Amino acid sequence: MSTDWLRGAVIYQIYPRSFCDSNGDGIGDLKGAIEKLDHIAKLGCDAVWLSPFFRSPMKDYGYDVSDYRDVDPLFGALADADALIARAHALGLKVIIDQVWSHSSDQHPWFAESRASRENPRHDWYVWADAKPDGSPPNNWQAMFGGCAWSWDSRRRQYFLHNFLPEQPDLNVRNPAVQDALLDIARFWLERGVDGFRLDVVNFFIQDALLRDNPPLALKRPAARPHQFQRHLYDRTQPETLGFVARLRALLDQYGAMAVGEIEDEEPLKVQRDYTDGPNRLHTAYSFFLLRTRAMLPAVIKDAMAQWEGAKGWPSWSLSNHDVVRFPTRLADNDPQRTKLMMALLLALRGTAFLYQGDELGLPHAEVPFERLRDPEAIAFWPSGIGRDGARTPMPWLQAAPVAGFTQASDAWLPLDPRHRAMAVDAQEGVAGSMLEFTRAMIALRRSSQALREGHFVALDAAGPLLAFERVADGERMLCLFNLSPDPASLDVSEGVARFAIGDAALAGGRVQLGGYSALFVAR
C-alpha cells in the first residue's frame, strides 16, 4: 500500500447535498453520488473527496457532527457509504472523506456529558473556562461566523469555546483521551476502505493553554468581520497540534492512507509547509491562498511556488470549494476563455489539484436571493460576505430536465441558478471547445506528462503579465506560458514542440505568440 498516487493527482470534491438527488426529496445523497461517479472517472480524476455526510443537526450543513460513525438519513445509510467506496474503487478512484475534529455538534453525546458537570468522565473533552471576575468571557477571541467565540453554559457555570457557531463547541484535542477517540473514528472509516481524510481546519485543533488574548491587527480600515481585527496567535496553529498529527500519521501509514489538511491562517503557505514537513506530518495541505485570490498575477504564482522551494512536504491547490466564490466569477469575470486559462494554470502547478463540482463546467457563482439563503454565515453577514450558498447550488446534469436533472422534485434545497442550466453536463458532453471537454483534455495532458504531474517548478523571467515557468522531471521539461492579460504577448524560446494551446497561441520559428488570455505548453 502506498500514497505515491497523491503526487500530481487530481481530486474531485463532491458536496453531497448538491451533487445528485436519487430519492426526489430535493437534497443530494450518497446513492445519487454513486450514480455520477462515472462522470468523475471520465474526467480523468484520481480520487473523490466527499464533504460531510455524517449524522448532524445540520446547523452548519454537516460540519456540526453528532455521530462520526453513522450516515445522516438525509444522505442514506452506512451501506450506501460502503457501496460508494466499492464503486469508486471499481472505477479506479480513491475515496477521501471529511473529518471535522476541531469541533462537534452540541448534540453529540460527548458534549451532552461534558456539559452536565465538572466531574464527569468527559468533563474536559471540550474547551471550558471560568468567567472573568466581572462575568465576561475568558478572553477576547472572536468566532469566525461573528461575535464572541465563547458561550455561557448554565449547567457548568462556565464558558465553552466555539470558533464557529455556538452549536459547534470546540473539542479539547489537547486531551489524550480525545485524541484516542478521534483516532478510533479514523480507524472505523479506514477499516471500511476509505483511502484518506480531509481534515477540516486542522490548525484549529488546539488552542493556547493559558487562553491569552489575541493582539490587535493593525488595519488601514475597519475589517468586515470581528475576528479579522485580531492576530490569531493563540486560538489556532499551536505547536502541540503537530503531536496529534504525528499520531494520526502513524495510524494512516498502517493502512497506506493519506490526509490533506485545510489551513486557515494569516501565514497560509508557511503553515502549509509546517504541517507537511516530514514523515510524521500530513501528506499534503491546502490553504485559502489561491481560494481567496481576486486577481491572478504572475507574482502571486511565483510567490506561492517560491515558498515551497526546498520543502519536504507536498502542496495542494484549489481555485474553488464549498466555502468561497467560484473561480470563474472571482478570477475570470465569468469569461469562458479566461475560465479555461485559470483551469489550465491550476493543473500546471506543482502539487495536488482539487476540483470542486461544477468547476469542469465553468459554473459562475450562483445568485441566491436572501429569502432562499440557508448558510448561517451568509445570513449573518448579508448583504456582504462570501455568500457560500452561491457555491452550493444544485449541480446541473440535464439541460432540459426540471432542476437541470439534479432532482425529480419540483425544487431543490437551494435554487438552481438559471445560467447553470445552459451549462449542464449533457449540453457540454462531446461539444468541441466546451469547458467540460477542455477540462478532460487538460487533465489528460497532466496525466501524460511526468513533468506536469510531479516535476520541479522553475520560474522564468518574462515581461509584464506573462507568466512563464518550466516543470522539470527526469528526461522531460515542459514550458508553461500564460498570458494573464487581454493584450498580445510574445516570447522567444530556444527549442520545443507545442503540446497544448489555450486560445490564440502558437509556436513558430522559435517564437511564441500569445493572444489575450491564452496559454501554450511546449515540450522541450
Alpha carbons 347 and 353: distance in angstroms, whole number: 6
Domain check: are 464 and 408 in the same one? no
pLDDT tens for the chain, residues 1 to 524: 678 999 999 999 999 999 999 999 999 999 999 999 999 999 999 999 999 999 999 999 999 999 999 999 999 999 999 999 999 999 999 999 999 999 999 999 999 999 999 999 999 999 999 999 999 999 999 999 999 999 999 999 999 999 999 999 999 999 999 999 999 999 999 999 999 999 999 999 999 999 999 999 988 888 888 999 999 999 999 999 999 999 999 999 999 999 999 999 999 999 999 999 999 999 999 999 999 988 999 999 999 999 999 899 999 999 999 999 999 999 999 999 999 999 999 999 999 999 999 999 999 999 999 999 999 999 988 887 767 999 999 999 999 999 999 999 999 999 999 999 999 999 999 999 999 999 999 999 999 999 999 999 999 999 889 999 999 998 899 999 999 999 999 999 988 999 999 999 999 999 999 999 999 999 99
Domain encompassing residue 338: 4-103+175-443
From 393, 416, 443, the end of a domain falls on: 443
Catalytic residue among 167, 262, 264, 417: 264
CATH number at residue 493: 2.60.40.1180
Alpha carbons 42 and 66: distance in angstroms, whole number: 35
Name the residue with cell 460576505: 385
Total Cβ atoms within 10 A of residue 136: 12
Domain check: are 348 and 253 in the same one? yes
Catalytic residue among 46, 167, 200, 454: 200
Which pLDDT does position 1 carry in this prediction? 61
Cα radius of gyration (the chain): 23
Which pLDDT does position 319 carry in this prediction? 97
Nearest alpha-carbon partner for 380 in 174, 147, 93, 199: 147
Q: What is the DSSP letter of 74?
A: T
Domain check: are 437 and 504 in the same one? no
Position 482, amino acid: F
Cell numbers representing residue 311 in the block? 520543502
Q: Is residue 113 part of a domain?
A: no
Judge whether 264 counts as a catalytic residue: yes
Q: Please tell me whether the overall predicted TM-score, pTM, comes out greater than 0.95 for this model.
A: yes
CATH number at residue 436: 3.20.20.80
Q: Are 165 and 148 in contact (CB under 8 A)?
A: no
Q: Are 377 and 357 in contact (CB under 8 A)?
A: no
Judge whether 389 counts as a catalytic residue: no
Domain check: are 417 and 479 in the same one? no
Total Cβ atoms within 10 A of residue 196: 27
Q: Is residue 255 part of a domain?
A: yes
Which pLDDT does position 304 carry in this prediction? 93
Grouping H, G, I as helix, E, B as strand and the rest as coil, residue 279 is coil
